[in-house]
A and B are shown apart, each in its own frame.
Chain A
Amino acid sequence: MATTAAAQRSIRWSRYEGYLFIAPLFVGMIAFIFIPIIVSFAMSFTRWDIVTPPEFIGTRNFIQLLTSDRLFWRVLGNTFRYVLLSIPLSTTIPLVLAVLLNQKVPGVTFYRIAFFLPLVTSVVAIGLLWRWMYDSDFGLFNYILQAVGLPGQKWLSDPNLAMPAVVFATVWQGLGYNIIIYLAGLQGIPEHLYEAATIDGANDLQKFFRITVPMLTPQIFFVLVISFIGGFQSFGLIYVMTQGGPVNSTNVYVYYLWQTAIGSAKMGYASAMAWILTLIMFAATFLQVRVSRYWVHY
């Protein structure tokens, strides 16, 4: 091959031009993700309030969090409660809706808009809206309750009801996203499975539980994982609707973290919290993947 030296040089150099293409992305990632991750890790072993120099205190933050911070365990419990309440609803309701929507009934665009609108709305708008609907004296929900003879509730002022109330708003918001995931999965279920079932005399309910649901387990698994990860890090809606109250009944992990970092300027302590959160996320996802091999069919 009689390539010139220049051509050979250019062939050699073009091996590395990919790096140029990914340079902007990696500059951003190094500056705004990698370095912060390392700094955050280092910070979790210090006490720092930004204005005075940081003071190295070893693992004291972690020990304090895990042993003497009552509020930490409270918010951890609240966050688990939040996730455990919202996941069953946000995985099953969209599934049923997706199956219904898949029946090729007319007006799909209308339904799509109806279920997606909450998704494109901001947490601020949703929070304000639902706060009004939950109003103890003039809210829509108490009106409906009283119209059917049930007593009105204090909803967001009631430490026992505030969390479920927020959960309900969250589920409402997230329906559309999971519906799409399931719809895509439904498209992939082979028609002949249903036909065979029909020949065997199966009714619709049987087809749903014996064919649809098992075939959708990959999507259910995906929805479960992202719902857990997203739900655990929930912040905005609670900030707008309840500010963590009443009496910390809706104070969740990230909200407490924010209070610690921005409110109390305890950066080291907050960083330690952030890393415990990261650990929890990794562990939970790992567990879910492990368990998935028992119930997910591919």
Chain B
Amino acid sequence: MSRTLTAAPPSAAAPRWQMSLKTATRIKKAIITVILIVLSIAALFPFYWMVSGSLKTEFEAFQFPPTLYPQEPTLENYQGLTRDLPFGLFYLNTLKIAGLSVLGQLITSSLAGYAFARLDFPGKDKLFLVVLGTMMVPAITTIIPLYILVYQINWVNTHYPLIVPTMLGSAYGTFLLRQYMLSLPKELEDAARIDGCNSFQVYYKIALPLMKPALATLGLFTFMGQWNDFFGPLIFLDKLELYTVQLGANLAQGQWYTDQPRLMAGSVLITLPVLLVFLFLQRYFVRGINLTGIQG
């Protein structure tokens, strides 16, 4: 339901200058479109700056006034960056971390979400409150002991501390899937029960397929979160060959602090995959924010 803009309806004795309803609405929509376009360009321009900067030669990048588009576009920044840093390896590392995290997260959170939505067991409501409660504790409070724990079991400089906690589900994921599950009708599940399915079969054959949109959303969020994660890899990874793309780009800043075009190339490299994923799965993204936003 959109908020319709209206002008005063024309009356019989209308002065000649009073516009018709239609024209007024059209003008308003035009003005709004212009404003939105201007603001969108302002919001998008930094990205254009990032991409165009990555294609400029170092010489051209440091022209003042800056050129609007690269006069002599070049790929040398990308070539140099990937030659000096093993970005392919970073990509593989990050894909591995993100992929495994998504897989584990989907399984664990769907199991728990299904249980909280459909099964009955003693203390269910209290346990769910506990799950929600964990979302309230700042992440930093748990990171320090987590680091020490990881240190003691020799998981530092491995990918495990980045994968396993996420694989074992999250309050957010459980919450999201539980809410979604609750909004679905029970008929199919009841029918399956009558046919003799046990809970796991109902989960696997009925609930899981029904949950697909929410699973897509959770998968998207988890993937993006892991791909863009900077803090975790920063704390747990020291060795270059284990680095994720984010650490790689940040390392580039350390090594070539003033080589802006090269840094822009790095930024583009680490943003492109997420951008593509987002473009294809936009509606799941929006739905995800809505699902938890409104209930929040």
Chain A residues with a Cβ under 8 A of chain B: 14-19, 21-22, 24-29, 31-33, 35-37, 39-40, 43, 50, 97, 99-107, 109-118, 120-125, 128-130, 132-133, 135, 137-138, 140, 143, 146-147, 172, 175, 177, 180-181, 184-187, 189-191, 194, 198, 201, 204, 207, 212, 219, 222, 226, 229, 233, 235-236, 239-240, 254, 257, 261-262, 267, 270-271, 274-275, 277-278, 281-282, 285
Could you write out 24 A-B pairs with CB less than 8 Å apart? A15-B121, A16-B122, A18-B121, A21-B115, A24-B108, A28-B168, A29-B168, A29-B171, A32-B165, A32-B168, A35-B145, A36-B141, A105-B29, A123-B230, A143-B65, A181-B290, A187-B1, A190-B1, A207-B3, A212-B3, A219-B293, A239-B230, A262-B147, A275-B141
Q: Do A125 and B267 form a contact, CB below 8 Å, given A132-B53, A143-B66, A180-B289?
A: yes
Residue among A18, A121, A125, A270 making CB contact with B119, cutoff 8 Å: A18
Q: How far is the CB of A91 from chain B (nearest CB, A)?
A: 14
Q: Is the CB of A25 within 8 A of B235?
A: no
CB contacts (< 8 Å) of B122 on chain A: these are 15-16
Residue among B2, B121, B293 making CB contact with A222, cutoff 8 Å: B293
Residue among A22, A121, A122 making CB contact with B127, cutoff 8 Å: A22
The distance in angstroms between the C-alpha atoms of A236 and B168, with both chains bound, is 24
| Majority secondary structure, A binding face | helix
What residue of chain A has the Cβ atom nearest to residue B224's Cβ? A120
Mark out the residues of chain B between 169 and 224 whose CB falls within 8 Å of any chain A CB in the assembled complex. Answer: 169, 171, 174, 198-200, 203, 224
Q: Is the CB of A25 within 8 A of B111?
A: yes
Q: In this assembly, does B18 line the interface, its C-beta being within 8 Å of a C-beta of chain A?
A: no
Q: Do A33 and B29 form a contact, CB below 8 Å, given A114-B43, A172-B43?
A: no
Residue among B112, B227, B294 making CB contact with A22, cutoff 8 Å: B112
Mark out the residues of chain B between 1 and 35 whose CB falls within 8 Å of any chain A CB in the assembled complex. Answer: 1-6, 8, 28-29, 32-33, 35
Q: Which of B35, B138, B199, B264 has the most CB of A within 10 A?
A: B138
| Majority secondary structure, B binding face | helix
Q: Is the CB of B227 within 8 A of A122?
A: yes
Q: How many A-B residue pairs have CB under 8 A?
A: 279
Residue among A26, A102, A121 making CB contact with B3, cutoff 8 Å: A102
Residue among A24, A122, A181, A226 making CB contact with B271, cutoff 8 Å: A122
Q: Is the CB of A28 within 8 A of B108?
A: yes
Chain B residues with a Cβ under 8 A of chain A: 1-6, 8, 28-29, 32-33, 35-36, 39-41, 43-44, 46-47, 49-50, 53, 61-66, 107-109, 111-112, 114-116, 119-122, 124, 127, 131, 134, 136-149, 151, 164-165, 167-169, 171, 174, 198-200, 203, 224, 227-228, 230-231, 234-235, 246, 249-250, 253, 260, 263-264, 266-268, 270-271, 274-275, 278-279, 282, 285-286, 289-290, 293-294, 296
CB contacts (< 8 Å) of A97 on chain B: these are 36, 39
Q: Is the CB of B141 within 8 A of A113?
A: no
The distance in angstroms between the C-alpha atoms of A140 and B95, with both chains bound, is 34
Q: Is the CB of B289 within 8 A of A177?
A: yes
Q: Is the CB of A103 within 8 A of B32?
A: yes
Q: Is the CB of A128 within 8 A of B44?
A: no
Q: How far is the CB of B9 from chain A (nearest CB, A)?
A: 9
Q: Do A18 and B136 form a contact, CB below 8 Å, given A43-B145, A124-B250, A138-B62?
A: no
